[in-house]
Chains A and B, each alone.
Chain A
Amino acid sequence: MALLEAAYQEFRSEVREFCEREIVPHAEKWDREEAISEDIIQKLAKKGYLGLTVPGEYGGQGKDSLYYAILNEELGRACSSVRSLVTVHGSLVSETMARWGTREQKSTLLPRLAKGELIAAYGLSEPEVGSDAKSVETSYQEHDDYYELNGQKKWITFATRADIIVIVAKNGEHVSTFLVHRTDPGVKIEKIHGMLGTSASGLGLITLENCRIPKDRLFGMKGMGFIQITNTALDNGRFSVATGALGIALASLEHSISYANERKTFGVPIGDHQLIKKKIADMTVAVKAARLLCYHAAEVRDRKDPSTYVHTTLAKYHASKAATMAATEAVQIHGAVGCLNTHPVQRLFRDARIMEIIEGTSEIQQLLLSNYALKNLTDIID
């Protein structure tokens, strides 16, 4: 029996066909050149994929979380750098703006984001601050008619392409978030080269030097940049990464199954060897469990259950681990062929490692999960 209703299956076919035609043939090249094409960004926009979950009244497609899970899964299966664009632009910024933007931001900016006329990124991490996100050092000062920002943001996905970057900054103990335009005075963006995985996702180092922005660029309430905006953004982003990681795990398994049926050693297909069978079995269980956790998280998100974030965390933790395990085994099953930089499994292997670091490392997910379970296991298990 199919896990999903017909409408979702049709959507998967549509996205898969798009990926096979527009992404898969270019993924290795983009990875080597450390950039996806502008053309694919426009094509994603035209399909409505950059604003899939943004409500129709703000120019998006108004689709539910299960559609979004399928989109991210299929993009992750094809190319994690492209999926990263959807994560930062769609989940971290657009979905968060749909939830917490001012009326003005929602009516003027959000429709342009949803249509892909503007591209957005999220600047939280810094050279000295990652997991301990509350300790950001980038500062803001409030003046009569402007804010002034100073500091650096590092590892910012698609900073090299984004028109708007959400910047998380501190004033004393207060954390606030701001919408900074790449064209604002005092903004410098440098590309980061040589990442292990998601190499084409346009990572940048952003330097803000006496960057003055108008007052209406405050995003969320003053002093609520962590509790309100960053927590919401990370929860949204985590869901996209979870489902993207599921896509990596699935692709790794599919490649492994075809190769196990085709490659012969000692006179038989390698899939006949028990040790290879064990790998395929472990990968299959991990992929199915990741799918169930991701789709369950989608359902909980749409139900607007207060415990949503813990289900998203569960899905992200497991799916990213499943991606690492499945991609590692896929390289092993392919032997030397899987080590060549023209073969997709070596890219899947490198991209998978990133999934355990972004949107909260695996260790941070473990902390969140265990802290929750120690107090209230029922909400997780039931």
Chain B
Amino acid sequence: MNNQDQIKEFIQKKVGEKVSFSNADDIFKLGLVNSLFALELVVFLENSFGIQVENEDLDLNNFRSVDNMNDFVAKKTA
């Protein structure tokens, strides 16, 4: 499974199987997740991709969509 699929699978599990969204969708704007979910996402990304999310990384744009998270992970692991 590539990074994108892994991220999508995690979010899908959290929002429920019946909710559909694309890799480009802003999951915060769509109201799919609450603010507490942002912290879950941070921990998930750290654990799954061996990265350390620092204070400076906490720009919501990094976490808005599956695509943005994928780019963020790629940048951190480059």
Give the B-binding residues of A (Cβ under 8 A).
100-102, 134, 220-221, 223-224, 226-228, 231-232, 235, 304-309, 368, 371, 375-376
Contact = CB atoms under 8 A, between A and B. Distances in A.
A304 B55 contact: no
A101 B34 CA distance: 23
Please report whether the interface of chain B is mostly helix, strand, loop or mixed according to DSSP.
Answer: helix
Contacts of B55: 100-102, 220-221, 228
Interface string B51-71: 000011011100000000000
17 contacts: A101-B55, A102-B55, A134-B35, A220-B58, A221-B56, A221-B59, A224-B58, A226-B35, A231-B35, A235-B39, A306-B10, A309-B39, A368-B36, A371-B34, A375-B15, A375-B16, A376-B14
Contacts of A223: 60
A375 B10 CA distance: 13
A307 B40 contact: yes
Please report whether the interface of chain A is mostly helix, strand, loop or mixed according to DSSP.
Answer: helix
B5 interface: no
Given A224-B58, A306-B44, A309-B40, A376 B13 contact: yes
| A-B pairs, 6 with minimum CB distance | A306-B40, A306-B44, A306-B43, A221-B58, A227-B35, A375-B16
B46 interface: yes
A228 B58 contact: yes
Contacts of B27: none
Interface of B: 10, 13-16, 34-36, 38-41, 43-44, 46-47, 55-56, 58-60
B28 to A, nearest CB: 9
A226 B37 CA distance: 12
Nearest to B48: A306
Given A221-B58, A376-B13, A376-B16, A231 B36 contact: yes
A100 B58 contact: yes
Nearest to B13: A376
A232 B43 contact: no
B16 A304 contact: no
A220 B54 CA distance: 10
A228 B38 contact: yes
Contact of B43 (A100, A226, A304): A304
Contact of B41 (A220, A221, A226, A306): A306
Nearest to A371: B34
Contacts of B16: 375-376
Q: Which residue, A235, A306, A371, A375, has most C-beta atoms of chain B within 10 A?
A: A306
A305 B46 CA distance: 10
A368 B34 CA distance: 10
A304 B55 CA distance: 17
B23 to A, nearest CB: 20
A175 to B, nearest CB: 10
A317 to B, nearest CB: 15
B14 A375 contact: yes
A227 B60 CA distance: 9
A309 B14 contact: no
B32 to A, nearest CB: 10
Contacts of B44: 306
A299 B42 CA distance: 19
A306 B47 contact: yes
B52 to A, nearest CB: 11
B39 A232 contact: yes
Nearest to A223: B60
